[in-house]
Amino acid sequence: MARESFAETFAEAALQALPGVVVVLDQDGRIQRWAGTAEELTGYTEDDVRGEPVRRVLAGPSWQELQELTALQTPTELVARLKRREGSPLPVALSLAPVRDGPGGGPLEATVLLLHPLGPWAGLEGEDGEQPHWEWQRALGATARRLVAEAGHDLNAIDDTQQLAGLLIEQARQLLPGTEVLIGMVPAERQKGFLILAGTGSWGRTMVGREIPRTEYVAGRSLEQSRPIETMRLQPDRGEPEGRNGSGHRGSALRDVLNTVRLVPFRAPRPLPDGRQLLGVVGWYRRTDSPFSPHERRLIDEFSSLVGAAIQRTELRRCAADAASRLQVGVGVAIDLASSLKREDVTQRLIRGAVEAVGAELGAVLEVDGQTAVVEQTTADDPPLTLGLRFPLDAVRGVGGVDGESPHTVEGDRRILLDAIERRQAVTAEGFQYVVGSDSPAVSRAKHVLLLPIVVGDGVTAVLMTGRATDRPFYDHEVATARLIGNVAGLAMRNARLFSDTVAASRAKSD
């Protein structure tokens, strides 16, 4: 207890001894301590401001911007204005340092601001004594757009995301000489990682074309939290990507190469047709052990916003074109199905067309016979889809998934084939297997599967199954395309059955 009392007394004495204004903020940006020369310079007492948000006494950077700066985990300086009870705001140099729980960068407990008066500063205050809302920093964003315009390209006319990223990365190199920049995008086919589209510098160029898991790195955290993160602690043991360092040896891609990074995420305001909303991140790296200045941060954020908007527009056009193409294929398949009266032809055309229309790699048509299913047609050598295989309806199991009509996540083991037949709805799942008795389950190599029941008359006579070996789920527009094909397939199968019955009856009569 005596040691804790001494620590508190020492901390209090240290706060009072610091020159200038000392402000201690909690995790929500509210004032907890108001010390130093704070009352003398502003006229506000500690009781006046305790518990108030920092904007009550500080004009300039918002609490969100201060949070971004605390990610540096090192003292940072910028310029702001201190509000006073009487008179115009006072220009101050602001030093910021995070207080964390434990060594090595634990959770943020508090933020300490040290404010030192600057007096009148040319270019900081307007004629009325007010800073013009940081417009001098926002103007830096115009510089980024000007550089792109000078490249002689119309960003709206570029349909290839890789080409677009290459153009933008070249402008980024000119924007901040001495930095290495990476543009990473979340691919539609593999949404658990980043694909590095473009990079500058000797290290950045070696990263192009590589895929990095989202969940393990700082870039993924920046994207998930939808905020920029800046840090000077690029340590191999903190989960940074492995690659070749500046000396060409295998090891941490960042070890002995880069010291400081600012990561700015970009996302779509609403999900794209392929389900993506978190699109990617722009990383700005430097070799020096120093944070980016406020001017550089504004410029980086403005330019990164431009990168995000341009890539989002290009990806949206690509997704729309893909969806339209698949729908066109679906309509073509439907017409093709209607042109045959042989069941074997119908099922072959159905499975071929459906796989192409929804962008799948695996496909099968399962004939429903009472409480069992038979693999009638298949396009791939996949253990659970062996041609002619017969198994109970409840033997096909999937984990997770979403219903095609009313989406909801399903947890745990799921009888997806029986579910699709009983509900007469499209069903998706994250992979599947079939289990019969005590035998070991046959596991499909499909990571995502779509089952569509084909209804003829009053019952389900078959189920169309398509699967993807890549980590890309089926989305609403793809389920709709499959449903269009399935509706026509049902009519085609009914017509094929009627034709077969008619031929059989004619033969019996002639015999």
Average pLDDT over every residue of 134-142: 49
Query: For 62-108, what is each residue's pLDDT tens digit?
Result: 777 776 666 554 445 567 788 888 877 888 777 777 777 665 556 77
Q: How many CB atoms lie within 10 A of CB 384?
A: 26
pLDDT of residue 114: 82
pLDDT of residue 69: 64
pLDDT of residue 432: 75
pLDDT of residue 383: 61
List own/partner pairs for 188-196 with CB under 8 A and 24 or more apart: 188/272, 188/274, 188/275, 188/276, 188/315, 188/319, 188/472, 189/470, 189/471, 189/472, 190/470, 190/471, 190/472, 191/275, 191/276, 191/471, 191/472, 192/471, 194/219, 194/220, 194/280, 194/281
Query: For 176-230, what is each residue's pLDDT tens digit?
Result: 777 888 888 887 767 777 888 888 887 778 888 888 777 767 777 787 777 888 8
Q: Quick check: 379 and 420 in contact, CB under 8 A?
A: no
Query: For 373-411, what is each residue's pLDDT tens digit?
Result: 878 777 766 666 677 778 777 777 776 554 444 333 344
Backbone φ and ψ of 342, nearest 5°? -105, 130
Instruction: With H, G, I as helix, E, B as strand and everything else as coil, classify residue 300.
Output: helix
pLDDT of residue 238: 41
If phi > 0 it is left, if psi is from -120 to 50 it is alpha, else beta; for residue 230 that is beta
Average pLDDT over every residue of 460-477: 81
The span from the CA of 471 to the CA of 193, in Å, is 10
- Please check the confidence at residue 256 and state whether its pLDDT lies above 60: no
pLDDT of residue 289: 73
- Three state DSSP letters for 392-432: EHHHEEEECCCECCCCCCCCCEECHHHHHHHHCCCEEECCE
| Among 136, 40, 140, 129, residue whose Cα is nearest residue 88 | 129
Structural domain boundaries in the chain: 14-117, 135-320, 338-510
- Please check the confidence at residue 128 and state whether its pLDDT lies above 50: no
Query: For 343-365, what is each residue's pLDDT tens digit?
Result: 777 777 877 878 887 888 888 88
Give 340 or 58, the one with higher predicted confidence: 58
pLDDT of residue 145: 57
Looking at the domain 14-117, which fold is it? Beta-Lactamase (3.30.450)
3-state helix, strand, coil in the chain (%, to 5): 40, 25, 35
Give 136 or 498, the one with higher predicted confidence: 498
* Identity of residue 322: D
| Among 395, 392, 450, 446, residue whose Cα is nearest residue 420 | 450
The span from the CA of 366 to the CA of 454, in Å, is 10
pLDDT of residue 8: 59
Q: What angle is formed at CA 445 by the lines to CA 439 and CA 448, rounded to 5 degrees?
A: 115
Looking at domain 338-510, its CATH superfamily turns out to be GAF domain (3.30.450.40)
- Please check the confidence at residue 266 and state whether its pLDDT lies above 70: yes
pTM score above 0.85: no
pLDDT of residue 127: 39
Q: Quick check: 155 and 147 in contact, CB under 8 A?
A: no
Note whether 14-117 and 135-320 share their fold.
Answer: yes
The span from the CA of 296 to the CA of 72, in Å, is 14
Give 320 or 466, the one with higher predicted confidence: 466
pLDDT band for position 135 (50/70/90)? very low
The CATH number given to 135-320 is 3.30.450.40
Average pLDDT over every residue of 288-307: 79
Length of the chain: 511
The span from the CA of 137 to the CA of 61, in Å, is 11
The percent of residues in the chain predicted with pLDDT above 90, rounded, is 0
- Please check the confidence at residue 121 and state whether its pLDDT lies above 50: no
The lowest-confidence range among 173-187, 222-236, 240-254 is 240-254
pLDDT of residue 104: 52
- Please check the confidence at residue 324 and state whether its pLDDT lies above 60: yes
Backbone φ and ψ of 300, nearest 5°? -60, -45
